[in-house]
Structure 1
Amino acid sequence: MTNDTGTYLYAVARDRGLPCPDDLKGVAGETVRTISHAGLVAYVSTVPLDQFGEEPLRRSMEDLDWLGETARAHHRVVEEVAGSAPAAPVRLVTVYSGEDQIRDLLDERHDDFAEVLSRVEGRQEWGVKAYAETTEAPPAEPPGEQPTSPGTAYLKRRQASLHTREESWRRAIGRAGHIHDTLASIAVASRRHRAQDPELSGRDEWMVLNGAYLVDDTRREEFARTVDGLRGEDLELELTGPWAPYSFTELEEER
C-alpha cells in the first residue's frame, strides 16, 4: 500500500471462509478483496487518493456523473456480498488509510457489527413507495349562481382548487400512514425515509410514503400479498426489493 492510495470499505460480514469472487469490481473499476480479522470479514478495494482523498473527494462529490457511477459500483458490491451471507453495508465513499485501520475498526466495533449482523440474518429489506395525484380538477360554479367577473371567478376557482388540493393531501397522508402501520406490523423493523423530490423519483405525483421494511424471509410472500391488498385508486403503491439491509445497519463510521 502506498501513500497515494486508500482502502475503500463496502460492507462487513461474519468470516465464514467464503472466497471473494475473483471478477468482482468495485468503485473506480478496482478489484474487491477481503480482510479477515476477529471473526469478521471486510470487503474492500484499493482506490486512488487523487479521486478519493479528502480534498479531491469534495470536488468529486459535486460531479453527479461520477457520484452516480460510484454509487452504482458500491451498490453492486454490497448486493453481491449480501446475496451470499448476512452483511452490514457501510456508507458510500467510506475510505480508510490502509488495511491496519480496517482491522482496528473490526476490533473496536466488533460487538456493534455482530449485533447488526444478527439483526439482519434471515431477513431482507423491502421498499414501498406510495404516490398520490398532484392535481385535482376544480369544482364547477354551482348552477343558478349569478355570473361573476372574470377576475372574481378566477379567484374563486383558485381558492376552491387550493382547498381541494389540501384535502386531497390530508387524505393521502392519512392513507399512507395506515399503509405504513400495516406493513410495519409484518416486518421486524421499519423506517419512513424522507419522500423523494420528483426530480429523483422521476414522477410528477406526490410521494407520500417512502418506507423500508426488514422482513423475515419466511414472510416475504405474506408481505407482498399485503402490499397488493392495500392497493387502491387513491394511491399507487410501488414495491421494490429485496435489497441489502441499508436502512437497518445503523453504524456511523468515521472516515
Structure 2
Amino acid sequence: MAEERGLFIYGIVPSDVEPTPDASGVGDPPGEVTVVRQGRVAALVSEVSLEAALGRPADLTAYEELLDGTAAVAPVLPVRFGTVVTGPDAVADLLDAHGDRFAEALDELEGRFEYIVHGRYEESALVQGVLEDNPAAADLADQVRGRPEEETREQRIRLGEIISQAVELRREAENRELLDLLGPLAVSGLARPPSNELDAVHAAFLVDEDSEDEFVDAVEEFAEQRRGLVRMRLRGPLAPYDFVSAHQLAG
C-alpha cells in the first residue's frame, strides 16, 4: 500500500517569493521546499508523510530557520507549526479564500521583524537581593543555614515561597519597564509567558527596520543596568511569530 503524503505549510508570502535551492524542510529525510501560488500570495510548503510524527527538535529548527531566513528578504506570515493539508489544491483553496486578508497583512509587515528579549535572574544574586529587602526571608535563611534539610523543612518551604513571590513581583515590574522603554521604538510589543521560574523579562517586539539599531542599543542599555543580576539575551531579527495570530491557519 502506497504511503499517504501531504503538504506541510510553513508560511504565507507574496507570490513572487522563491525558496533558495538549499532550503530544507521538515521530516526525515527533509522535504524539498516549494511554493504554491494563488493570486497575490503564496505558501511555502514541503511534502511529508501523513504517517510520520512531526515534532522532533530538528523539525522545529527547520521550520524556524526557513521562516526566519525568508523574513530577512520578504514579509512572511508564519503558519502554526504542524499544519498539514492533503495537497496543492487544498493549499490553493486556503489562499483563495483568505488571499486579500493575507496580502494586507503582508503589506503591513513589509520591512518589519520580530525581536525577542529574554532575561533570566542570576539565582545567587537574586536570593541575596531578596534577603536584603525582606527581613522575614533573612531570618528564615539564618534558621536553615548549616542545618539538615529534614529539620528545617517548614522553614525552607516558607523561604522558597517568599523568594517565588518576590520573583513574580520583580518580573512584573521588569517587564513593565522593558515595555515602557522599548515600546516607543517598536511597532508593537507584548509580554510573553515566563519559560523558567527565574525569568526576569520575556517579551516580543515588532520592529521596523529603520528603528533596528536604536532598538538594539536600548536593549543593550537595559541589560547593562542589570549586569550581574540578570543574564540578557536578544533574539532577532525573526519572522513575526507573535504578531500574526489573527492570520494563522488552523491545523
- Please report how far the alpha carbon of residue 156 of structure 1 lies from its aligned counterpart in structure 2 after TM superposition: 7.1
Q: Deviations over 1:1-56 (max 9, x none)?
A: x871111111111112x4332232201111011111111111111111111xxxxx
Contact in 2 for aligned 1:172/1:235 (Cα 8 Å): no
Q: Which moved more, 1:110-119 or 1:169-178?
A: 169-178
Code of the residue aligned with 2:23 in structure 1: it is L
Return closer, same or farther for 1:254/1:176 CA change in 2, 3 Å cut-off. closer
Code of the residue aligned with 1:217 in structure 2: it is E
Pairing of 1:1-255 with structure 2 (within 5 A): 4-16=4-16, 18-28=17-27, 29-51=30-52, 60=53, 66-135=55-124, 136-137=127-128, 138=131, 139=138, 163=162, 166-167=165-166, 169-197=168-196, 206-231=198-223, 232-233=226-227, 234-250=229-245, 251-255=247-251
Which whole-Å CA distance do the structure 1 matches of 2:164 and 2:44 have between them? 49
- Give RMSD over aligned pairs: 2.9
What is the number of equivalent residue pairs in this alignment? 226
- Please report how far the alpha carbon of residue 252 of structure 1 lies from its aligned counterpart in structure 2 after TM superposition: 3.5
Return closer, same or farther for 1:112/1:3 CA change in 2, 3 Å cut-off. farther
Q: Deviations over 1:81-121 (max 9, x none)?
A: 22221111111111011111111111111122123212211
Where does structure 2 lack aligned partners over 5 or more consecutive residues? 132-137, 141-147
Return closer, same or farther for 1:105/1:157 CA change in 2, 3 Å cut-off. closer
Code of the residue aligned with 2:45 in structure 1: it is V
Q: Which moved more, 1:99-108 or 1:20-29?
A: 20-29
TM-score between the two structures when normalised by the length of structure 2: 0.78
Q: Which runs of 4+ in 1 moved over 4 A?
A: 153-165
Which whole-Å CA distance do the structure 1 matches of 2:198 and 2:75 have between them? 34
Return closer, same or farther for 1:69/1:163 CA change in 2, 3 Å cut-off. closer
Return closer, same or farther for 1:32/1:206 CA change in 2, 3 Å cut-off. same
Contact in 1 for aligned 2:187/2:208 (Cα 8 Å): yes
Q: Deviations over 1:191-227 (max 9, x none)?
A: 2111113xxxxxxx71132111001101111111111
- Please report how far the alpha carbon of residue 168 of structure 1 lies from its aligned counterpart in structure 2 after TM superposition: 5.5
Contact in 2 for aligned 1:130/1:176 (Cα 8 Å): no
Which whole-Å CA distance do the structure 2 matches of 1:157 and 1:50 have between them? 49
